[in-house]
Amino acid sequence: MTDAIDIAALSGVEQLRLGLTGGFVAPIARSVGFELVEIEEGRVVFEGVPTTAFYNPLGTVHGGWMATLLDSACGCVVHSMLRPGQTYTTLELKTVFHKALTAGVPVRAEGRIVQMGSRAGFAEADLRGVDGKLYATATSTCLVMAR
């Protein structure tokens, strides 16, 4: 018999850590080709390598791919701060594109908590190549609520 895990009884950072230990991985991560690689309260890191499947008509990675990665970093860093019984949803995401990204360039999206309140979480994230080159940044506001 397998023991079921009561997700609602876990803190946000405990929920996210399940993904690193073979537990639930969000389907969007598989579809878009990135993964959560570092988690702590108030900080998360995703890594990914875009392919030509995400190219726009200009021959570069579509901004939507970068925004999805940054939205995940901002959302998950807020998630990392949740207490048991809480959930959240993104209210706003502002993304700024600094440089075009091409297929095959490994990138890291690091999300950091700016401020966490009882009803709202504020986060920021940057998307950089492993060489430190900045491709995009984002800020986000999330609504925090009871599950």
Tens-place pLDDT, residues 18-52? 877 766 678 888 899 999 999 999 999 999 999 99
Total of domains in the chain: 1
Decide: pTM greater than 0.85: yes
Q: 106 near 130, Cβ under 8 Å?
A: yes
Domain membership of residue 103 as a residue range: 7-146
Distance from the Cα of residue 60 to its chain's centroid: 21
Structural domain contains residue 80: yes
Give the model confidence (pLDDT) of 84-111 as tens digits.
Answer: 999 999 999 999 999 999 999 999 999 9
Structural domain contains residue 2: no
Give the dihedral sign, CA 52/55/61/65: negative
